[in-house]
Structure 1
Amino acid sequence: MKTFDLQRMAFDEMPPDFLFEVAVRSFYTFILVFLFLKITGRRGVRQMSLFEVLIILTLGSAAGDVAFYHDVPMLPVFVVFITLACLYRLVMWLMNHSEKLEMLFEGKAKVIIEEGEFAWEKMQSQNMTEFEFFMELRLHSVEHLGQVRLAILETNGQISVYFFPDHLVRPGLSILPEPCNERFETVPEDGDYACIRCSEVVTFNAGDKLPCPRCKNHVWVRACTAKRVT
């Protein structure tokens, strides 16, 4: 085999006019995926449940094969599309009649912040880091956790946030990026400090060097008391 053979690298054994067939196949699979999204009524991936993403990935795998491989016929992919569409409709109907099945496929919403602090025990079971939570919360114009009465991780991965009124905002862990928050193991002055790991707020005296009573972490930042800017 000749190395760096441009003919082989570009077309392998296919004739150049096979590119037109690839374009037709790609358009065909695009239409199938488009029709499926119209059937499900979803506008974006962030609105999809785990089950719906699984359906799309399965259809996408079949669509990718038929788009690029000349020996994959187009009709079986249409059968895959019909089968998945019927499966989707069936599972949606079953979930409307069974709460347990709905929880199996959709999961359930999780409380991640309660009364201005992380719901630490519940958060540990989630496959997201606190940095991902912080990013999502910043998109809701949250500066620190003391502004948040309740935050819920929805089944589609989005976060619903419910705020304290301004007069009830309490000291909380700042969720701004690390350069904006000086960290301490020994606190420099009296005041409220927040654990960077679990968000527990503790009042310290200058010179204190104590672990967090909640998670035993030793690193703290000054608790923030800023009101919301809307």
Structure 2
Amino acid sequence: MFFDSWLGLLRVLVVGTLAYGSLVLLLRVSGKRTLAKMNAFDLVVTVALGSTLASILLTESVALAEGLLGFALLVGLQYVVAWGSVRSVRVRRLVKSEPRLVLWKGRFLGEAMRLERVTEDEVLAALRGSGEADPGRIEAVILETDGSFSVVPEAPQQALALTRLAGRPET
């Protein structure tokens, strides 16, 4: 239970070092977009890469070559999805959600919050996290495609970052 063998420890040390080095190299070659958390697919790839690394490290039945192929497959699929979403509106709509406005000019947008399953308490927590306690002094709170909140303080009338949001009320 506490110690199996020196050979097992040596395997973890050698295979772990090689797998980790290979993953770092693969991520450097594939670019920053591979680990971006811009949508649900990005999160799945990040978690799957970690899970694959853990499997390589701790499961003797998973050979290093199989794990490296798993890394390459995940990164390759991520590349294909990102490539497709940049070049095709149809693919982009399939894999990415739109940011949604949940608070506008100090007013909670109840329907948008229901659609996104967000509570007022969660929006207020985002406000506190941004250093603002008064919703009335906030232009907008946006639920981003990665699930995070963006808090925009009072802004000029035609702020570009606020023009392409789902559920934006007419002014």
TM bracket, shorter-chain basis = 0.7 to 0.9
Is structure 2 residue 5 aligned with structure 1 residue 10? no
**1:65 alignment counterpart:** 55
Task: Select 2:21's aligned residue among 31, 40, 51.
Answer: 31
Aligned residues with identical type, % of pairs: 25
Alignment RMSD, CA only?
2.4
Amino acid at match of 2:52: A
Q: TM-score, normalised by structure 2?
A: 0.77
Task: Select 1:55's aligned residue among 16, 33, 45.
Answer: 45
Structure 2 unaligned blocks of 5 or more: 156-171
Highest RCO, 1 vs 2 (Cα 8 Å, sep ≥ 6): 2
**1:41 alignment counterpart:** 32
Q: TM-score, normalised by structure 1?
A: 0.59
- Measured after TM superposition, the shift of residue 36 of structure 1 is 4.8
Q: Deviations over 1:78-123 (max 9, x none)?
A: 1111222221211111101222321322211000111211111000
**2:138 alignment counterpart:** 148
Task: Select 1:161's aligned residue among 147, 151, 158.
Answer: 151
Amino acid at match of 1:10: F
Structure 1 unaligned blocks of 5 or more: 1-8, 166-230
Distance 2:117 2:129 in 1: 19
Distance 2:126 2:147 in 1: 10
Residues 133 and 33 (structure 1), Cα distance of their counterparts in 2 relative to 1, 3 Å cut: farther
Distance 2:83 2:34 in 1: 21
Task: Select 1:128's aligned residue among 118, 122, 126.
Answer: 118
Structure with the larger helix share: 2
The answer on whether the counterparts of 1:33 and 1:60 sit within 8 Å (CA) in structure 2 is no
How many residues end up aligned between the 2 structures? 154
Question: Which protein has the larger Cα radius of gyration, Structure 1 or Structure 2?
Answer: 1
